[in-house]
């Protein structure tokens, strides 16, 4: 079987199969109007020539480019820790590939860059739809896009965008589980929360979960115990320093991601406070690092690859003109208990 590589168009295939270009096209599309004999002849010819349809030719006529775009956070430092991001991409790309779609990656440094990327995807028809993994709560680009009718799926909850299709971990539940564990398994009452940037819904949701858990234990949330970070380890350290400087007492910390938890731990150690001896600590994301540090970090885990897969599937529905019957999907999170929350003390 010779595999001729190089330029070869549908015309060549049709010629070799002895049929018209129309029939060749329809045969390859498995159109029922074409006879089985013709289909077979065309398939053989295409195989012989190593025919691959020219994507631009197809796209121009059929108004479908067979590509989806993924827009990632501006800096890719915040919002997603890197392992989370690669897992998400993994999920998206594998579903896309299974459906013969290309995945276009876009990261923008500024909001204007992002706006121009969106225009290329949508108005320039570079992608049939877009998955946005960078949405701040009030991102004008995203809101405009959603309004235009262009297929878009948001990774993260997006209650502010009307009728948006969104896929997210259930961060409200995750935040609540982390806090409840500290309350119930370890009996502490003064739990500080280092939140993510509150312009992001995920940060809001974890904070709400934290507060709900406190209130379920009849503890009033206390503003002095809530500090806003930016998901960086430095901001975790700063949060601890602030708490101590202001004289706010606390027995435990729940941080909205593992990086800030590790930053907090460093600051505590620098002050001579041990984890979990003096302060209990729980993080979020369950990055690989979590199980390697000493003490191993208790954290909230979720399947980001699954988030990516589901987001891609929803986008396919939208592109196909179907409105997902479940516009918002929340995937479960699970608390992974290790030593930093104090559980080892009980076991030992």
The nearest distance, CB 56 to a copy of itself, in angstroms, is: 4
Q: Where are the beta strands (DSSP E) in the chain?
A: 67-72, 102-107, 129-132, 152-155, 165-169, 191-195, 226-228, 252-255, 280-282, 299-302, 328-331, 333-336
The nearest distance, CB 301 to a copy of itself, in angstroms, is: 16
Binding partner of 148, given DNA, a copy of itself, none, CB within 5-8 angstroms per partner class: a copy of itself
- Beta bridge partners of residue 69, listed in sequence order: 104, 130
Nearest C-alpha neighbor of 226 from the set 214, 243, 209, 202: 243
Binding partner of 43, given DNA, a copy of itself, none, CB within 5-8 angstroms per partner class: none
Find the binder of DNA among 22, 249, 274, 326 (CB under 7 A): 22
Find the binder of DNA among 16, 28, 164, 268 (CB under 7 A): 28
Comparing CB distances to DNA, the nearer of 34 and 87 is 34
Q: Which two tokens stand for residue 61?
A: 């006529």
d(CA 336, CA 246): 31
Judge contact between 121 and 127, C-beta under 8 A. Answer: yes
Q: How far apart are the first and last CA of the chain?
A: 67
Residue 301 touches a copy of itself, criterion: CB under 8 A: no
Residue 53 touches DNA, criterion: CB under 7 A: yes
d(CA 304, CA 253): 24
- Which is it for strands 328-331 and 165-169: parallel, antiparallel or unpaired? parallel
The nearest distance, CB 36 to DNA, in angstroms, is: 7
Q: Per-residue string for binding with DNA, 54-93, x by CB under 7 A?
A: x-xxx-xxx-------------------------------
d(CA 269, CA 274): 6
Residue 277 touches DNA, criterion: CB under 7 A: no
Binding partner of 119, given a copy of itself, DNA, none, CB within 5-8 angstroms per partner class: a copy of itself
Count of residues making up the chain = 348
- In this chain, which stretch among 26-34, 93-101, 250-258, 276-284 interacts with DNA, using CB under 7 A? 26-34
Comparing CB distances to DNA, the nearer of 32 and 247 is 32
255: three-class secondary structure by DSSP: strand
d(CA 12, CA 24): 10
Residues lying near DNA in the complex (CB under 7 A):
7, 9-11, 19-23, 25-26, 28-29, 32-35, 37-38, 51, 53-54, 56-58, 60-62
Binding site for a copy of itself (CB under 8 A): 5-8, 50-57, 59-60, 65, 67, 70, 76, 82-83, 85-86, 89-90, 93-94, 97, 102-109, 113, 117, 119-120, 122-126, 144, 148, 262, 288-289, 292-294
């Amino acid at each position: 079987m010779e595999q001729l590589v190089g330029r070869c168009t549908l015309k060549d295939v049709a010629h070799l199969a002895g049929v018209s270009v129309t029939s060749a096209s329809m045969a390859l599309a498995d159109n029922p109007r074409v006879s089985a004999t013709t289909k077979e002849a065309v398939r053989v010819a295409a195989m012989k020539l190593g025919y691959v349809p020219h994507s631009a030719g197809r796209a121009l006529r059929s108004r479908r480019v067979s590509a989806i775009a993924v827009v990632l956070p501006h800096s890719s430092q915040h919002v997603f820790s890197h392992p989370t991001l690669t897992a998400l991409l993994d999920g998206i790309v594998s579903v896309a590939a299974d459906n013969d779609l290309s995945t276009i990656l876009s990261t923008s440094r500024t909001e204007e860059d992002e706006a121009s990327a969106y225009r290329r995807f949508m108005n320039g028809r570079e992608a049939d739809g877009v998955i946005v993994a960078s949405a701040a709560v009030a991102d004008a680009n995203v809101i405009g896009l959603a309004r235009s009718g262009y297929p878009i799926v948001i990774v993260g909850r997006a209650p502010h965008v009307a009728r948006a299709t969104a896929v997210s971990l259930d961060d409200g539940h995750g935040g609540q589980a982390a806090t409840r564990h500290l309350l119930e398994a370890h009996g502490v009452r003064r739990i500080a929360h280092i939140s993510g940037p509150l312009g992001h819904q995920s940060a809001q949701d974890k904070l709400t979960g934290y507060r709900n858990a406190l209130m379920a234990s009849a503890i009033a949330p206390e503003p002095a115990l809530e500090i806003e970070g930016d998901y960086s380890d430095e901001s975790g350290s700063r949060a601890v320093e602030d708490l101590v400087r202001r004289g706010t007492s606390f027995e435990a910390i729940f941080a909205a991601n593992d990086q800030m938890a590790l930053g907090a731990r460093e600051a505590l150690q620098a002050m001579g406070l041990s984890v979990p001896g003096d302060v209990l600590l729980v993080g979020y994301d369950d990055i690989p690092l979590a199980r390697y540090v000493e003490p191993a970090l208790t954290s909230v885990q979720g399947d980001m690859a699954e988030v990516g897969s589901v987001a891609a599937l929803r986008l396919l529905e939208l592109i196909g003109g179907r409105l997902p019957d479940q516009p918002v999907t929340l995937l479960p999170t699970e608390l992974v208990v290790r030593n930093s929350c104090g559980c080892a003390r009980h076991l030992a």
